[in-house]
Structure 1
Amino acid sequence: MEHGSNWYIHNVHLILENSIDKGALTVEDGIIAAVHIGEEAEAPEGATVIDGEGGYMLPGFIDMHVHGGDGSEYMNISLEGYEAISRFHASQGTTGLLATTVTASREDIEGVLACAAEFQEHSGAYARLIGVHLEGPFISPKWPGAQNPAYIAKPQLSWVKSWNEHYPGLIRQLTLAPEAEGAMELISWLDKHGIIAAAGHTDADYETIVEAAEHGLSQAVHVFNAMTPLHHRKPGTAGAVLTQDSICAEVIADGHHVHPAAIRLLLKAKPAEQVVLITDAMSAAGLGDGCYKLGELDVHVKGGVATLAKEGNLAGSTLTMIQAFRYILEHSDLEPWQASRLASGNPARRLHIWEQTGSIAEGKLADLVWTDNEFRIRKTWVSGLAVNE
């Protein structure tokens, strides 16, 4: 791992918030010290000089929904496993992520929170663990997807209050079924306490999602998957997400979970800042076909597609953020700087870390990804430190 955090890269195309410009970057002490557009400046004395070889420099990706990778998952409570996940996804351009649970027992969820809190204290220079995304257990038994139905529970505000008191600021997102008894009260509480309330694995109709949005629901997980679909007389959860500007839509852009035409529809329907790319990656990400686990459930991966061994449901993905980024470029009319918003800027805003990261700008953390001109990763930096050498 490269330990020097003072460096200068030139001959590179900078993917900025609203444009792409050829230029250079100066990084000092882990911070973007200068953004040079057009003519290149001289490298600061003592800085490591890197030739960008005409490639691209992007802000690091932020994955709000990821269960694991490289053979590890967050439900297998282990600091070594958490580091393996961060290291793998950093090698694929992710510089920040939310450790995402599955529907599990209260005790197992509390184990994840404890391990994530400890990991945050001493994690290395890999993808930064921003917080935890609780996907369940307050979901619909009608739409379990790859969640274990044995642990589905009605919304328990007392549990969430207790978790937030023990680990203040750690829980950043909670996914639930808004139609469940007690869900509206929990959504209001989450919104007041700065935790993203998200709809997912839900049987809610259109009207229920609209009501939930009025209570503070502001996100929908893996849109089109594990939710009531769009029908012209029953718009369902999907229809509400498409038409409610206040709801941010996560999408798994891997070619398996959502048809590219549905992704294009989503991009046309939603405000530019209200779509985020996620991986929903499981432990098999980065590995080959074979048998794996998602929580306690057996998963088969064949041709990169993960499905439950028993039911055949899609079970997370083997996707990485750089693959999702390239997929969007190939299957939509977005420019690279617009796709970068979906992978970096928009999640940074959702997580209230936009002032620190999520774009290439002076004064922000040097969370950066350098690629060749076909968007194949050359190097990732987190706070200026290279992570994939």
Structure 2
Amino acid sequence: MSESNAKLFTNANIYTPDGIFEGASLLVRDGLIESVIPAALAGTADADGAEIIDVGGAILVPGFVDVHVHGGGGFDVMSSRPGKPMLDGMSLFHAKHGTTSFLATTLTASKEDIDAALQSLAKELEEGTSGADAVGIHLEGPFINPVRCGAQNPAHIREASVEEMKKYMDYSGHSIRLMTIAPEFAGNLETIAYATQNGVTASIGHSDGKIADVREAVAKGASHVTHMFNGMSPMHHREPGVAGSALIIDDLAVELIVDGIHMTPDIVSLIYKTKPADKIVLITDAIEATGCPDGDYFLGELPIIVKDNKATLRDGGSLAGSTLTMDRAMRNTIAFTGLSLEEVLPGLTINPARQVGIDDRKGSIEAGKDADLLILDADLNVQATYVRGRNVYQA
């Protein structure tokens, strides 16, 4: 739902692909970005009848795009069923933290549970959300390696087939934009090729593969790596594993969970020094418990415990997603790396949008794109969130 009326954001420091425009204005019409007006031309905008929003010298950036999020605010993607919607509540929770687009991310589960969740999510996606835009589905599992399952239920892990993938695409209303898959199995490689040929980004993850497996997956079309260093064979000086391969192969984009738990600050810095700047994608991997009190929860069928922002399996202690939000990921990354907001911003915006094929309308402040915008204060706290020109959160 885009608004028909125009808005003129004034007195803003606007972050665009062409640089930062200080004291500038931004004209939005019918939910789309019309133009950035530099401070020197502030009186020239054709903004008759527009609502004037003076942001008082605050920062105006594109909204965040989270391509890996299982839930939040007490809502869980895999629990979506007819009459029990999950995406709208998620969308409102994450909009408070700067997310304006997200992929609803599934988990390894029984065929029946995945089928039911995908069919329900397809209906929710068609109906739309009142907060952040739900722009598709990230299918994480079940086509992974049980050796690296982490908090994915090993009882339901299986080798992929094109037939099963076709079924999932049909059930989802062809809204799967990203899939996590381990490439070291023949059926999985065949499925990577099929998926990428049909508009799905294939991501290597929950994999015990070697560099030869990763290179073969890339040759089949894989272009993404799920939650870097977590759920994958580690780097060794005689076999790079998936982790080392992801650093070596420039064509692979890598997801980072920058919560200070999944990776140390030094490792985050290493990745920023190693990977091309346009191949870093910040995610939350947030679960239902994000934004909720410490205590006992479930991730799929597996019982977990959340304490001091850390989510782990009750049985075994493996990390079980995160309680991270995108605004915290932004601030953490700046603190861990010493980089500027301008340098970190692409990992939250245009890079994830490009990886899942929505960069024609999301991910940057450019004329013709959706007016997905954040107003940030000097401490980089979210003051307001706009989705296609609609104010969906106000601090």
Query: Shorter-chain TM-score: what band?
Result: over 0.9
Name the CA distance, whole Å, in 2 between partners of 1:17 and 1:288: 39
Aligned to 1:374: 379
Name the CA distance, whole Å, in 2 between partners of 1:210 and 1:181: 14
Name the CA distance, whole Å, in 1 between partners of 2:267 and 2:129: 38
Name the CA distance, whole Å, in 2 between partners of 1:5 and 1:333: 40
Instruction: Out of 107-116 and 340-349, give the one that drifted further.
Output: 107-116
Does residue 56 in structure 1 map to residue 59 in structure 2? yes
Aligned to 1:115: 120
Letter in 2 for 1:20: I
Does residue 28 in structure 1 map to residue 29 in structure 2? yes
Q: 2:278 aligns with which of 267, 273, 284?
A: 273
The answer as to whether partners of 2:303 and 2:314 remain within 8 angstroms in 1 is: yes
Name the CA distance, whole Å, in 1 between partners of 2:184 and 2:258: 27
What's the secondary structure of 2:109's corresponding residue?
coil
Name the CA distance, whole Å, in 1 between partners of 2:265 and 2:120: 37
Name the CA distance, whole Å, in 1 between partners of 2:78 and 2:172: 17
Tell me the alpha carbon deviations over residues 85-132 of structure 1, each in whole angstroms, 9 at most, x when there is no partner.
111011111111111001001111112211221112222331111111
What's the secondary structure of 2:78's corresponding residue?
coil
Pairwise CA distance, 1:333: 3.4
What's the secondary structure of 2:35's corresponding residue?
strand
Name the CA distance, whole Å, in 2 between partners of 1:196 and 1:2: 28
Q: 2:78 aligns with which of 75, 82, 94?
A: 75
Q: CA, structure 1 residues 310+267, in 2 after alignment: closer, same or farther (shift >3 Å)?
A: same
Q: 1:65 aligns with which of 64, 68, 83?
A: 68
Name the CA distance, whole Å, in 2 between partners of 1:81 and 1:191: 28
RMSD over aligned Cα atoms: 1.7
Aligned to 1:128: 133
Aligned to 1:302: 307
Name the CA distance, whole Å, in 2 between partners of 1:338 and 1:90: 22
Aligned to 1:6: 6
Q: 1:91 aligns with which of 90, 93, 96?
A: 96
Aligned length: 389
Q: CA, structure 1 residues 18+311, in 2 after alignment: closer, same or farther (shift >3 Å)?
A: farther
* Unmatched segments (≥5 aa) in structure 2: none
User: Matched residues, percent identical?
Assistant: 41
Q: Which runs of 4+ in 1 moved over 4 A?
A: 1-5
Aligned to 1:150: 155
The answer as to whether partners of 2:121 and 2:172 remain within 8 angstroms in 1 is: no
Name the CA distance, whole Å, in 1 between partners of 2:289 and 2:169: 30
Tell me the alpha carbon deviations over residues 191-220 of structure 1, each in whole angstroms, 9 at most, x when there is no partner.
211111111111101221112111111111
The answer as to whether partners of 1:54 and 1:373 remain within 8 angstroms in 2 is: no
Name the CA distance, whole Å, in 2 between partners of 1:123 and 1:369: 20
What's the secondary structure of 2:212's corresponding residue?
helix
Name the CA distance, whole Å, in 2 between partners of 1:120 and 1:236: 36
The answer as to whether partners of 1:139 and 1:180 remain within 8 angstroms in 2 is: no
Pairwise CA distance, 1:184: 1.2
Aligned to 1:334: 339
Scaled by the length of structure 1, the TM-score of the pair is 0.96
Instruction: Out of 18-27 and 136-145, give the one that drifted further.
Output: 18-27
What's the secondary structure of 1:356's corresponding residue?
coil
The answer as to whether partners of 1:10 and 1:40 remain within 8 angstroms in 2 is: no
Structure with more contact order per residue of length (Cα contacts < 8 Å, sep ≥ 6): 1
Scaled by the length of structure 2, the TM-score of the pair is 0.95
What's the secondary structure of 1:361's corresponding residue?
coil
What's the secondary structure of 1:238's corresponding residue?
helix
Letter in 2 for 1:9: F
* Unmatched segments (≥5 aa) in structure 1: none
Pairwise CA distance, 1:163: 2.3
